Structure formats: structure tokens, C-alpha cells
Amino acid sequence: MKNLTGKALLVDPALTKSTAFTREERENYGLRGLLPYDVASIHKQIERVLGSMRSKSTAIEKYIFLNALLERNQRLFYRTMIDHMEEIMPLVYTPTVGEACKEFAHIFRKPQGFYITPEDRGDIARILKNWPDEDIRVIVVTDGERILGLGDLGANGMGISIGKIALYVACAGIHPAHCMPVMLDVGTNNLVLRTDPLYLGYPHPRISGESYRSLVDEFIQAVQHCFPKALIQFEDFLTPNAFEFLDRYSPKVRCFNDDIQGTAAVTLAGIYSSCRITGKRFADLNIMFLGTGSAASGTAELLVDALCVAGLTESEAHRRLWFMGRNGLVTLNSGNIKPRIKPFMHDHPSYGFVEAIGKIKPDVLIGATGVAGTFTEAVIGEMARVNERPVIIALSNPTSHTECTAEQAYHWSDGRAIFASGSPFDPVWYRNQLLKPAQGNNAYIFPGIGLGIHASSARLVTQKMFLAAAQVLASSVTDAELKDGSIYPKLTRVRQVSQAIAVAVCRIALQEGLAETDLPGDMDDFVRSLMYDPNY
């Protein structure tokens, strides 16, 4: 226990057991008199936590309470989250984390991550050594420019990195001491933040161009020096920067972008699962995207790979995928199209949204706009007209920005829609049937990817790993869950899913010659042995 005793032990968040210290421990560690009489089990402590949390009237109050618990007692926080995943994950991450990021400077209590600003240029490798843990295996880094669908939140975006780290620990069992949330605080163009007297970030306009790129490059190189086994997850960067950094660094260092690749894998898994409900062949699907940002284009690129695995040529796969932009259907005659979307420009008349659905008859509609209400009654109704079981996937977060709600999707499709969303929705009663919408949560994917990279020490993260993760996730959905209309497994099984994904990643790392550690024959047991199980 780091030789800590007395009050120092009680307030160390990684080591404290609070009222669960036994009589013998209280004697040995100088705790007598510092605790009330009762020796409480962790289960009794969880009851107390849940009672206090549930007494809060708003989600943000519950977020603040849970964050304070994490700062106070790490094991109790993670044990509570793991045992009550469906209740607590929406409070720790989507959708509550969006509000928490907006209010981050106002609800700030205690520093939890690592901040890098332009004033640290030239010193990043040196200051990274100020971080208290040395064996870092996962870094989640953001620059706060495109937080969920909320835009530029500057240094407030640290809430995203902190939240994703919590999911790595709870959902995949990566030890907290191996994890590091990072904020590249390069300024903000959000004038409301810059003029807020409580704002904690670098109070200048965002740096850009070569000044920005060179700072990111210095950070990446510093990580290789200080934490050579660390996986870097890029989070909530503006689309052009997200793709630029992914293309630049992924061939050289172990990194990935969750908004691009994690979203793609979880969406692909949902489409695979939906085929078990509709009876359609994956290789026969036509899929339409609303939105042309990083989530949509990244998903389309992974779908091309998946369709090729299913037997199509690359050109055939491209022809199965359609994009709706601001000016209608993307075709060869469309102007001002992003480079990643150009392979999906078809020789086809341009139509508006509803008319395009009627002409193309997509089996799956995917929303990645960040704009609420873009899946209108007319849109859902047309999808239901051309499909017996229309698949509607509304990816945008937080809930206030989703393309449509579960209730809308079900009611506008006469209860026939297979609906999934990025944020959670409650079950919906429709004509005496309880329909259970699925949450296409990236937490099903990235924690398992991280665990697999940790277990194998794979020196790179590849598209085949995300294809495998999607296949594992889809195969985890039970027939009973499909019967309820859910195309993802219950969150209560997310740790088992993460373990299975990690094993699949290890196998691909071996196949591709990327593993830098010797892996045993029984990889299931090996991966399980690495998973942090918070308890006393």
C-alpha cells in the first residue's frame, strides 16, 4: 500500500477502502479513531452510493456526485459502475457528459487529466514525466474543437477524455494506473468561453496551420519517448484534422480515432445484427447516410471493407453506399464534396431526401449530422413504405442532437422500425408491444480494442481489428434481444464483449505480425487475467 498509513491512506483514492477497512487493518495502518465503528462491506457502501446518487434531481448533479466519488474512492466508483452499468454509464458518459463539458469550468473540483498548451512547446516530453504513473497503456486525447455535436468547447473538452478513460476501466478492465486523459488545449474560438471569467483553458483563439500540427506532432513523439507502450485514441477532433492525423500517424504508431473507426465498427455490428431480423443478406444491402462528416465517411469506408469480405468488388461496394448532403443526394454532379466522400459520388440524378429514399430504396438509413430532427415523419414514413422492417440508426450525440427519438421512429413506422441511436432511449410501448431501442454505443468497441492492444502490445491498430470487433459484437446479440428489436447486447454484458473483442484483436495482431509480446495458446484466460476487477 505504498507504505501509506493514517489519514494519508484514507484519502488516497486508489488505495482507500474507507469504512471497509477491517479491525486488523485499522490497527496495522494507524486508522483507529479515524473511522466510525462499523466495518462496511463494499456492497453496503454501494447501497449508500446509490441512495445518495438517486436522491439527486438532475443528471448533471449525479455526474458531479459520481465524479467526486471517483476522486475519493476509485475502487468503489468502478465497482458501482460495473454492477449498475445501464444506470450509471449514461451519467458518466453520453448523454450527460455533453452537459458536463459545457459546464466543466463551473463544476471543476479537482484536476484529473493532463493539459498541454502552446506554451509547453519544446517541453512536452519533459512535462509528461510529471504524470504520477509510468506504465501508461491508453491515452485518450482531444483538442476540444468538436465535442459531440456541441462544437468548440476548448479546454472544457477534458470531460470527454476523462469519461472515455472511465469506460476503458469499467468496460474492459484496463487498470486506472495504465490510463491517461489528455487535453491539447490549443485555445478556443468560442467567444462565450473566452470571456467567461471562470474558464480554465488557454484564453486565446485556436492556433492553426503548421503551428497546430507541429504541436500535435511533438505530443505524439513525446508519448513514444515517455510511454512507448501507450495506445493513443484521438477523440472529437474536427473532421479534416481527425482524418489528417489518422492518416499521418496510424502507419507509424499505435493509434486510432474513435469517432471514425469506433463509430464505424459499432454501426457495422448493428447492421450485421439487423440482417438477422430482416432476413436480408448483408451483401445485398443498400445503405444511405445523412451527413458527410468523419463518423459517416469512416463508417462507409469500413462498410466497403466488410462488403468486400462478403464477396463484392470494391466498385460494387461503393455503389451500395449513398450520401445525402446539405444540397441533396451526392452524385457526380455535386460540387464541393469532401475528399473522403468522392468515391461515393454516383452517376445518378440528384434528389431531395424523401424522394431519394423512394428512388434508391435503402435498407438502412444512418444519421450522422449532429442536427436534431433531421429524420422527419416524412423520412421515416418513406423508409417504412419501401421496407417491411426499415433499419434506422441515429448516431448523433447527445440526446438533444439525435436525428429522431426512438418513440418517433416507432410511431412513424407503425412499430416496424429497427431503431438504434448513439444516446440511450427508454423502451417504448406501441400497440401493446414493448419495443426496446438499441444504443449504438462506441463503448462496445473501443475498450475491447484497447484491451487487445494492451494484451498483444500490437505496434499498430488496423482496419481488420475493427472488422473483427464488429463481427464479435454482432455475434454477441442474443435471439431474445433481437426479438425485442435490439441490435446490440445489453450493456450489462459489455465486459464479456470487450474480452471477446480483445481476444480477436490479439489473434489479428499475431496474423499480421504486429504483436510485440508472446501470447499463450489460451488467450481467453490470458486476456481475462489482465482485466482489473475493482474490489476490496
Cell digits of residue 501: 473483442
Q: Note the pLDDT of residue 487.
A: 97
Instruction: Please state, in angstroms and rounded to a whole number, the distance separating the CA atoms of residues 174 and 304.
Output: 31
Inter-residue contact 398 to 421 (CB < 8 Å): no
Q: Which of 164, 168, 444, 532 is catalytic?
A: 164
Candidate list 29, 78, 93, 272, residue with the active-site label: 93
Any catalytic annotation for residue 202?
A: no
- List the beta bridge partners of residue 180: 139
**With a cut of 70, which residues of the chain have pLDDT below it?**
1
| CB contact at 8 A, 476 and 270 | no
pLDDT at 442: 95
Catalogue all structural domains in the chain, each as residue range(s) with its CATH number.
6-85 (1.20.1370.30), 91-253 (3.40.50.10380), 261-440 (3.40.50.720), 444-530 (3.40.50.10380)
Q: Look up the pTM and report it.
A: 0.95
pLDDT value for 210 = 98
> According to the model, what pLDDT value does residue 327 have?
85
The secondary structure element, H or E, covering residue 463 is: helix 463-475
Is 93 marked active-site?
yes
Q: Are 22 and 28 spatial neighbours (Cβ–Cβ below 8 Å)?
A: no
What's the pLDDT score for residue 400? Answer: 87
Chain segment 384-395, per-residue pLDDT in tens:
999 999 999 999
Predicted pLDDT of residue 370: 85
Residue 197 CB burial class (10 angstroms; 0-12, 13-18, ≥19) = exposed
Q: What confidence score (pLDDT) does residue 66 get? A: 98
- Residue 263 has a pLDDT of 96
Angle at 98 between CA 93 and CA 100, to 5 degrees: 85
